[in-house]
Amino acid sequence: MNAPHSSARLPAPWGRLLDRSKPPVRFSFEGRGYDGLQGDTIASALLANGRWILSRSFKYHRARGPLTLAGQDANTLVQLPDEANVLADLHPIGKGLVVTGQNCNGSLDHDRDAILGKFSRFMPVGFYYRAFFKPRGIWKRWEPFIRKKAGLGELDLAFQPRYHDKAYLFADVAVVGAGPAGLAAALAAADAGAKVLLIEQEPMLGGSLNWARFDLDGNEAEKTRLLIDRATAHPGIRVLTGAVCNAWFADNFLPIVAGARLYKARAKQCVLAAGAFDQPVIFRNNDLPGVLLASAAQRLMRLYAVAPGKRAAILTGHDDGYLAALDLLDAGVAVAALIDMRPENDLHASPWREALAKKGVRVISGSTVYEAIPGKDHGRVAGIDVRHIRAKGQVEPWGEIIACDTLLMSAGYMPAWQLPCQAGGKLSYDDASARFSLSDLPDVLTLAGSLNGLYALQNTLADGEAAGHRAAAAALSRPAAAPARALHPEAPVNYPWPIFPHPKGKEFVDYDEDLQIRDIVNATRYGYRDIQLVKRFSTVGMGPLQGRQAALPTARLVADATARTVSETGIATARPPFMPEKLAHAAGRAFTPARHTAMHRRHAEAGAQFIPAGIWLRPAYYGNPAARERLIQEEAAAVRTGVGLIDVSTLGGLEIRGPDAVELLERAYTFAFARQPVGRSRYALMTAEDGVIIDDGVCCRLGERHFYVTATTGGVDRVYRGLTKWNAQWRLDVDIANVSAAWAAVNLAGPRAREVLARVCADIDLSPEGFPYLAVRTGTVADVPARLVRVGFVGELGYEIHVPARYGEHLWDALIQAGADAGIRPFGVESQRLLRLEKGHVIIAQDTDGMTHPAEVGMGWAIARKKPFFVGKRSIEILEAQPPLRKLVGFVLPKDGPAPLEGQLILDERGDITGSITSCGDSGALGKFIGLAYCAPEQAVPGAKLPIRRESAPGGRLLAEVVALPFYDPDNKRQEL
């Protein structure tokens, strides 16, 4: 149990985020029920109940309580039933919420793995890299143990994804951070007429105005809070609260996570007013429960009305520690002492120091906490060993023990450097004054407030206002407005060396990764001088919160150990995301376009099994997948013996019209079209400049200056782009329209196709003489306008019928009805592939690759060599002048042996690879396995044996026989019926 420090809530106005009018909210943690108030986070509610241990540390399983109370440390990571690694200081409580600890063996209060802390000297920095790989093979023994121990929370594998989505936002000026500087910037920009997006991570605007103290009586913050009301009511400002700007990308493209939504914001100008991180002091046991940042204690009191303890001490390196002490006193917390690391000589008289003195608070200057002493309350701090600072990082050998149950600490502030550095900014640190500065920022980005090293309230307001004016002027392309107000001088806020090594260690530099001072120093002794290498070797800054508190002390330690300045050392790269981001945010509302043909519904009704063809969905075959092979054979047989109908709407379609239409086709395709008669179609093969085949189709001449050209499903966009480019480049007078979507098309194929078509087509002479093979006709089919082409792709009498897409379903219905007596059967892509394979027709991009030129696939006949020019002509001539490297051939295998598979390798006699199978299938018409394959030219002889590598076959290969193409109907009598 861990609840003796129970503290009643402080009275209002403490607890700014609480709604005390609502009934308590009951939830559980580690199996025990707790009551919180509306507005509480899990952490604040637990702290209100005196529960301080929220987690166990990553490596040593040390008891941990909250450190920042702002979601900036891993000490508050807890487990929800369906979500691991939830930040308890950000996640609101809810009725019935079940919360447990994580990364413990037993319970949080009694973690059997806490003993690991006693062996820390046996787990030095980098021991993962060095301990588990020698002797050879030892990793196999370590791996199960480490896998079991590694990681923090547990995934719920039965988790059901929740709805996440994305949306775009647009603004003239985006302001990140709505503290005093951000509010001032947003208002200044909006008053200047800019459309402003104000992004705030907390649930309410105000930032430090909500919890910090800026003066003796605390009035200044309250007065300044009026800006919140102004910003909220301003029509030019869109406010996003509870929203984290997780990165800065070029041109102010800002990903913002807000609840279940990822906003993608684009702003003309961006003002970053993200504030600074309160920094811990590095001393022994600085991670005990009850030791927290001064700002965390102030947040706990002001936002959640919880006093952090009964008797507190404060360790500070700047004046804000005094203001925190005043807050503690106001909240009724006894202040045992304020320990100021600065030497007495450096301390100037200040009203708050006097105020503390008047209240009897002891101020110990030039001193530090050397060690926090755990008590019996589950290790919560019970006292501190205070020592006088003798020199940099060194203390006197004796000190004073002061009893306290809470220690507030603040060594200074480090600007939130992540987003500015992602924008290309350079973070510098002046070792003499311990001040940060950011420079080299892009023109579209302005910093304000603490990011500019300003902490005095009036300075941050003035700076924010100036930034807002500047950003608005730039966004609205106006001259810069009001000059910046003069800033008041400020005292330094960073104590230069708040690091105090202890012989017994446990002075934590990185809380997330349990890294102590010696871990960082030892990393440099192993030779890792570069901060990036220190990071990778020691894992500093690689924990859940990416080194918010560790970056500065690590830089200081590395600088000191390598005799450089902090600026020379630098800090590790802070890549996006700034805060943990769920994969769901990236996955939410992902668009996956899919195209349906006009007959899609009919296919679904007929039991089609769809496969993707590009983004189209096409019927693979119709019927039960369990009977796939049989169905494909039946569909193919229907086409060979009766009549079949396939939806070919996915074919590309291009309308080529105009005075230079013929000229364009002559130059773009390999074949000749100048003498192509109107009413005839012609095969159209396209090659690229390098002579490689890139597409094919059928070119139908509908008029002297009017062609309708088909293209492959996947290639039509490329063909369209190419034609359009050439049309412009060659300055031809042609109109090219991609009408692929506008035409629905079917192929009615089989010996009975003419008979079926005749029932729905009365205005076209369908006789073999009136409508011969390769002819093109226009007319009506089923009373709708149609273009018809006599094609032979599947090797039977066939009609490709194209109608406007709006009539596609009507056409399908009419043909199915007309063919009912003839046993018409819809067939899918699978049987079409088999049927065309029997005819030896290649499919571009299946039987060709990025190197295939026409001669390799026996398409020399499709080249008009007398033409003066076509794209690829010169390359083809060069290629054909070389000895051939490979040929595409047909092969057969007996049905009683193993079936070949696409992709299987073709070998020569020595076993060297000469090619591969591009297409193969079980030909019902031929009673054999058939296929197309690339092989060496000397193997491409009908009757030759073609070895196919197949490990399971005798000798590791099958022996196919090369045959002449086509396999089926070699005289092409059937398609020309």
Partner 1 sequence: MDALSDTTHRERLCALADLTNLPRLGLRGRTAAERLAAEGFRPPDAPNRLTRADSGETLLRLSQGEYLLLGSPADRGARVRALEDALPKAGENALYFLPRQDSHAWFRLGGPRRFEVMAKLCGVDLSPAAFAADAVAQTSVARINAVVANDGRGGALHLLFDRPSAVFFREALLDAMREPSAPRNRETACLVG
List of residues 6+ apart from 468 with CB closer than 8 A: 173, 175, 184, 185, 186, 187, 188, 189, 190, 192, 271, 448
Nearer to partner 1 by Cβ, of 658 and 779: the residue is: 658
CA 280 to chain centre: 33
x/- contact string, 168-187, with partner 1 (CB under 8 A)?
A: xxx-----------------
Provide the minimum distance between the beta carbon of 110 and partner 1 in the complex, in angstroms, as a whole number: 43
Q: Is 663 helix (H, G, I), strand (E, B) or coil?
A: helix
Give the interface segment with partner 1, choosing from 354-362, 597-605, 634-642, 750-758 (CB under 8 A).
597-605
Q: By CB under 8 A, name the one of 80, 247, 331, 805 that touches partner 1.
A: 805
**Residue 804 binds partner 1, judged by CB under 8 A:** yes
The C-alpha torsion from 340 through 343 and 348 to 351, rounded to 10°, is 20
* Tokens 């402080």 belong to residue: 10
Binding span for partner 1 by CB under 8 A among 93-101, 272-280, 737-745, 854-862: 737-745
Alpha carbon of 840 to those of 194, 416, 831, 935: distances in Å? 66, 67, 14, 16
Please report whether residue 673 would count as binding partner 1 according to CB under 8 A: no
Q: Report strand pairing: 196-199 vs 237-240.
A: parallel
Give whichever of 591 and 869 is closer to partner 1, judged by the CB atom.
Answer: 591
Question: What's the CA gap between 518 and 284, in Å, rounded?
Answer: 12
The one segment of 113-121, 165-173, 831-839, 874-882 that binds partner 1 by CB under 8 A: 165-173
- Strands ordered across the beta sheet of 735-738: 681-687, 693-703, 706-711, 652-657, 735-738
Which residue intervals of 408-516 are DSSP H helices?
418-422, 457-475
Binding residue (CB under 8 A) for partner 1 from 214, 352, 743, 812 = 743
Of the two residues 127 and 249, which places its CB atom closer to partner 1 in the complex? 249
Map residues 443-482 to x or -, x wherever contact with partner 1 holds by CB under 8 A. Answer: ----------------------------------------
How many residues of this chain bind partner 1 (CB under 8 A)? 38
Q: Does 680 bind partner 1 (CB under 8 A)?
A: no
> Which of these, 394, 436, 390, 392, lies nearest to 412 by C-alpha position?
436
> Which of 9, 311, 426, 595 contacts partner 1 by CB under 8 A?
595
Distance CA 269, CA 172 (A): 6
CA dist., res. 386 & res. 364, Å (int)? 9
Contacting partner 1 within 389-448 (CB under 8 A):
none
- DSSP E strand stretches across 328-485: 334-340, 363-365, 367-374, 381-391, 394-403, 406-410, 412-415, 426-430, 435-439, 445-447
Residue-wise over 805-829: b if at least 16 C-beta within 10 A, else e?
bebbbbbbebbbebbeebebbbbbb
With beta carbons less than 8 A apart as the criterion, state whether 846 and 697 touch. Answer: no
Q: How far is the CB of 702 from partner 1 (least distance, A)?
A: 7
334 counts as binding partner 1 under rule CB under 8 A? no
Binding string to partner 1 for residues 683 to 702, with x set by CB under 8 A, is what? -------------------x
Q: Contact region for partner 1 (CB under 8 A) — 574-582, 588-596, 837-845, 964-972?
A: 588-596
Pairing of strands 798-804, 681-687: unpaired
Q: Which two tokens stand for residue 918?
A: 């591009």
CB closer to partner 1, 649 vs 919: 649
Distance between CA atoms of residues 692 and 448, nearest Å: 58
To the nearest 10°, report the CA torsion of 889, 652, 793, 796. Answer: 170
Stretch that binds partner 1, among 432-440, 457-465, 800-808, 854-862 (CB under 8 A): 800-808
SS3 765: coil
CB of 594 to partner 1, least distance (A): 5
Q: Is 234 in the site for partner 1 (CB under 8 A)?
A: no
Contact 565, 559 (CB under 8 A): yes
Q: How far is the CB of 190 from partner 1 (least distance, A)?
A: 14
Q: Does 829 bind partner 1 (CB under 8 A)?
A: no
Give the bridge partners for 293, in sequence order: 409
- Phi/psi of residue 363, nearest 5 degrees: -110, 125
Contact status: 592 vs partner 1 (CB under 8 A): yes
The helix or strand, by DSSP H or E, that contains position 92, with its residue range, turns out to be none
Task: Please identify which residue in the block is written with the tokens 């309580």.
Answer: 65
Does 264 participate in binding partner 1 (rule CB under 8 A)?
A: yes
End-to-end Cα spacing for the chain = 91
Cα gap 179→187, rounded to integer Å: 12
Instruction: Tell me the window of 121-129, 241-249, 326-334, 589-597 that interacts with partner 1 (CB under 8 A).
Output: 589-597
Q: Which stretch binds partner 1 (CB under 8 A): 88-96, 159-167, 174-182, 489-497?
A: 159-167
Distance CA 947, CA 960 (A): 6
Closer CB to partner 1, residue 293 or residue 661? 661
Q: Is the dihedral of CA 788, 789, 793, 797 positive or negative?
A: positive
| Interface pick for partner 1 out of 658, 768, 858, 937 (rule CB under 8 A) | 658
Looking at the Cβ atoms of 78 and 265, the one nearer to partner 1 is 265
Assess 705 for contact with partner 1 (CB under 8 A).
Answer: yes
Quote the least distance from Cβ 799 to partner 1, whole Å. Answer: 20
| Position 741 contacts partner 1 (CB under 8 A) | yes
Task: Pick from 594, 728, 901, 913 the residue near partner 1 by CB under 8 A.
Answer: 594
In the DSSP assignment, the letter for residue 194 is -
As measured in angstroms, the least distance from the Cβ of 588 to partner 1 is 10
**Which of 657, 718, 867, 949 touches partner 1 (CB under 8 A)?**
657
* Interaction pattern, residues 751-790, with partner 1; x per rule: CB under 8 A: ----------------------------------------
Q: How far is the CB of 600 from partner 1 (least distance, A)?
A: 8
**Is 703 near partner 1 (CB under 8 A)?**
yes
Binding of residue 614 to partner 1 (CB under 8 A): no
Among the listed residues 51, 64, 195, 833, the single contact to partner 1 using CB under 8 A: 195
Stretch that binds partner 1, among 160-168, 335-343, 406-414, 433-441 (CB under 8 A): 160-168
CB of 705 to partner 1, least distance (A): 7
Q: 581 or 655, CB closer to partner 1? A: 655
Residue 578 tokens, joined? 């700034």
In the three-class reduction of DSSP (H, G, I as helix; E, B as strand; rest coil), residue 536 is classed as helix
Residues ≥6 apart with Cβ < 8 Å to 148: none
Rounded CA gap, 109 and 445, in Å? 47
Instruction: For partner 1, give the closer residue by CB, 702 or 953.
Output: 702
Least spacing, CB of residue 198 vs partner 1, in Å: 17
- The encoded tokens of residue 282 equal 């590095």
Token look-up 């203001």 returns 323
- Nearest approach, Cβ of 659 to partner 1 (angstroms)? 9
| Contact stretch for partner 1 (CB under 8 A) within 164-172, 376-384, 638-646, 819-827 | 164-172
CA 254 to chain CA centroid, Å, is 14
360 to 326, 676, 933: CA distances (angstroms): 11, 106, 94
- Contact with partner 1 (CB under 8 A) among 8, 138, 150, 167: 167
Contact between 593 and partner 1 per CB under 8 A: yes
* Cβ closest to partner 1, residue 520 vs residue 661: 661
Minimal distance, residue 448 CB to partner 1, in Å: 25
What residues line the site for partner 1 (CB under 8 A)? 165-170, 195, 264, 266, 589, 591-598, 600, 616, 649, 655, 657-658, 702-703, 705-706, 735, 737, 739-743, 804-806
